[in-house]
Structure formats: structure tokens, C-alpha cells
Amino acid sequence: MTTNITFKNVPSLHVLVVRRQLKGQQDVAREISRILPEVADVLIGPPMALAIGFPRDGLTDFDLAFPVQESQQVDGFVSKTLPALPMFSITHHGALVDGPEGFNLSDTWSHFVEFVHDSSALLGDDPQRFIYHEGLEGPESTPTRVVLEIQYAYHLPIWLNAFAEGVSKRVGGEAAERILAGVHGLAEANDGERAAMWIRDAMKRLDAEVADDRTRACILNPCAHHYIVQSGEILRELWTKANGDLRALVALISAEPAFGSHYWIDESGAVPLLMIRRRPARLDAYNEATDPAEKRYHACFCPLVRDAIRAGDPVSRTFCHCSGGWYVQEWEIVFGSKPQVDLVETMIEGADSCLFAVSIPPGLLRAALSDRLSTE
């Protein structure tokens, strides 16, 4: 086990990748050991596993990645470039399982979870990286002791950079300087409470400088977490299964546990809207809570504002356009272009959940209905 958590800017890395569905790190270690001889001659760094999304039916998708020179190709592997990212890093020294108490991977992971909670760190959705520096023993055995570095994306620097870029592009001049006052050094301080307070104040300044809500939305949308790989792959699969029928897709996605939100189509206005009521972030705690503010706290995904929701502190609804940016990414996959996403209800104004409206491109619903009728 280790208690040393560091922050680092990880450079981009060229890797050869194979995708596997595995139960956990024991299976990961054995599978990496099995594959290693195939790339041993071209390997230039420690192998790693990237956790792609969340477990489904007891298995997690892992990209097993092997660092190589940029031009290297090997049959049976996909060549990829992992992006440069700001990362938290913690290195585990010990067993994956069944080691002395306090020296198992679960113990190291518990320490990291505690750190995230205590610091209110804003983590990213980029795949966790499990980097095996030492201890791989072979495909038929579970390592008894590993040196395993775990890297988890730190989203706050990405958020702040996107916000600053949006403000500079759409506001500019002295107004942009006023909005962004105090941003320098905020991410490096690794103080979640300080970051949350700055962002709340920045939203007030943004509201004062920019009257148009759509402009504010366009500034905040790009700050959202990256749309995770697994969700994108599932959505593409469902869109193919729906055969281009948006109504059929809405029915499929509403039943998909990986999404969990409530989707429906509203055709009452001039522009048809895809309505999305966001699911609670921590469902069990949400269901157990009886106080309305406590329920909203457990429903909220964002550590930057959920403490304010619990305390009843005011936060501008402008901030939740960031969450709207998630659905911009989600529905760009289906529509082929970035849709307009409007914030209808938000928990920071007392709603029970957040509600978004995605503008459906002209003709898409009519085309889907026509295609369906022509096949009947």
C-alpha cells in the first residue's frame, strides 16, 4: 500500500491496444502476461490497462495497452495515441488480493477514494490507467506483489481551461479579465472548496457581464466532462438497432442501465425537443434521504456545487449549462452535429432533478416515421 498521491501532467503516449472483457485486476494481470510475448520486441514502457466505463454483467471493458514507438504496427493490435492529461497518481506496492491487511489493492484504492472525498477533487471520465511497473508473473498465476501505478484524470484544469477559452472567445477584453480574475494557480492548489467558491463567484461575474443566456450556455457547454467511451459505444449500438428511428432509440436508451436517465420526446412546440431528466448520481443514498436538500445533494453529480445545494447557498443556474454540455456530446453522436441543449430545471434552484431539452434537427422525426412506415 502507499499513501503518496501526486499530481502530474502525463504526456501523450503511443500504444498498441487489444480490448478484453475482464472481471478485475487479477484477470487483467494474467491477460497482460499472456499477451506480453507478442509485443516484447517493440515495447518501450510498462504495460497498462485502461478501464473503459463501468462493469456490465459482471465484466468491465479494458483496453490492454502496450507503449511503442509511433510508427509501430503489430497484427492483432490497434494503434492508438493516448491523450496528454492532468492526472492524479497513486502507486500500490503489495498484493492485488489476499495479501496482509492494509497491503491489498483495495486498501490503496480506499485511500484514494478518501482523498477524493476530503479534497472534493473534480475527477475526469477519461479511462483510469492501471500501469504495471513490476510484478507480472505469468498468465497462469496471480501476482503476489506488484508495483501498480493508478492514474485518474483530474478534470478541474480541463474545466478551467475550457471556461477561460470560452470567455476569451465569446466575451473578450476587459470583461473577460474581470470574469477570470483569480483563476491562475487554482487547479494547482488542489483545493476543491476554494475552486468551488471561485467558480460560484465567476458565475456571478459571467451573469453580470453577459446578458444572453445562450451565449453563457455556449461558454459552459465545452467545460463538461468528456463523453465516456463506453457510453458512446453503447449509444452507437442502440442507434444502429433503432434503424435510424429516434422514437425507437429513445425507448431503447430509457431501458439501458448504463444511461439510467428518463428520456422522452416533446412535440408540443414549433421545434421538437428530446427531454432528458437526469438520474440521481448516488441512487441508494438518494432513495434513503428524507430531507429534500439532502436528496438533491445525492442526486447532483458535481462536487463543485453539491455542497452548496446541501447548505442552501445560492449558485447561479448558469453553472448547470456545463452539464448540458454532456448531452451536446451525447446527441452529436446521433445527430451528426452539435445540438442546442437548453436547461429547463436545475436542482440549484430547488428542482428535484435537472431537466434538459435537446433541440431535434429539422426533419429527423418525420424521416424516421416515413422510413418506418415504408417497411411495414
Domains of the chain: 5-153 (3.20.80.10), 156-212 (no CATH), 229-373 (no CATH)
- Paired residues of 67 in beta bridges: 15
**Which band of pLDDT confidence, cut at 50, 70 and 90, is reported for residue 373?**
very low
Q: What pTM did the predictor assign?
A: 0.88
Q: What is the pLDDT of residues 192-246, one digit of tens each?
A: 889 999 999 999 999 999 999 999 999 999 999 987 788 888 999 999 999 989 9
Whole-number Cα distances in Å, 253 to 61, 157, 234, 306: 20, 32, 9, 27
CB atoms within 10 A of CB 140: 8
CA angle (89 as vertex; 81, 142 as ends), nearest 5: 85
The stretch 268-295 carries a mean pLDDT of: 94
For the chain, the average pLDDT equals 92
Q: What is the 3-state secondary structure (H, E, C) of 276-302?
A: EECCCCCHHHHHHCCCHHHHHHHHCCC
Residue appearing with cell numbers 491489498: 104
H or E segment to which residue 345 belongs: strand 341-345
AA identity, residue 8: K
**Which band of pLDDT confidence, cut at 50, 70 and 90, is reported for residue 89?**
very high
pLDDT for the residue 2:
57
Q: What is the pLDDT of residues 332-369, one digit of tens each?
A: 999 999 999 999 999 999 999 999 999 999 888 865 54
